[in-house]
Amino acid sequence: MLGTESRLAFIDGTLCAQLDDVDTGGTHEHASRPSALRTSCAEDSRYGSRMRVLLTPLDPRTHRLEVVREDGTRDARVLETRSYIVHDLAHFAVEAEAAIPDGVFGLLARGAPLDGLGTDERATSLEASKNPGLARAESLAGPFQSLWHGRLDADRYAELVGVDRAFVDRALARMRGLMGHWNATRHGQTMELRWPPR
């Protein structure tokens, strides 16, 4: 067992409740955003498989990333936190906000192995060339990390990746929640996320 699990349901639940309030009313304008970028947080058959994403800090330098798919299969890796935690959570944030069913997390949920998805640049590039969802996820997540670290302006990011400012604000809000959850997770505890996010 990975130890005591630390769950902060408000990260996915509250954000989705807020988005559902906006999206289900039908009055919120998304003029400059492609319609595929956001759907309701309600059940969406495009996602297919579901999974739990478990992030466990092991020591100050490493953490364990484990995915537990709805069919019971698991995959796990120990990663260097400094190199991967922001990268992985950035992917989660933008893939959730863009409702990409076949980005990194969607492919993992469908059974793709952790090796080669988001951890090896050459393998990821090869996979992205065969998969438009993964390519879109990579195009959003890469620059988003620069945005998160303050090396890229929000308006420039929006222009660069072809989204509106509302998307950027939502992705940043989700990332703040994810990073807050991660920072509150002590060694030996586990941060749990659900894919697709609710």
Q: Kindly give the residue spans of alpha helices, DSSP state H, lying in 27-163.
A: 81-97, 104-109, 121-130, 132-148, 154-161
Mean pLDDT value across residues 65-89 = 96
> Contact, 2 vs 190, CB < 8 A?
yes
Mean pLDDT value across residues 89-97 = 97
Specify the length of the chain in residues: 198
Q: Comparing C-alpha atoms, which of 104, 96, 87 is closest to residue 144?
A: 87
Cβ neighbours for 173, distance < 8 A, ≥ 6 positions apart: 15
Q: So what's the pLDDT on residue 49?
A: 82
Q: So what's the pLDDT on residue 86?
A: 97
> Contact, 147 vs 174, CB < 8 A?
no
Maximum mean pLDDT: which of 45-59, 109-123, 149-163: 149-163
Mean pLDDT value across residues 149-173 = 98
Find tokens 């400094």 and name the residue: 82
Domain residue limits, the chain: 5-27+45-195
Where are the extended beta strands (E) located within 35-159?
Answer: 51-57, 62-69, 74-80
Q: So what's the pLDDT on residue 118?
A: 52
How many C-beta atoms lie closer than 10 Å to residue 191's C-beta?
23
At residue 83's C-alpha, the angle toward residues 109 and 177, to 5°, is 65
Mean pLDDT value across residues 42-63 = 82
Find tokens 């950027």 and name the residue: 168
Mean pLDDT value across residues 18-29 = 30
> Contact, 17 vs 23, CB < 8 A?
no
Tokens of 182: 């991660």
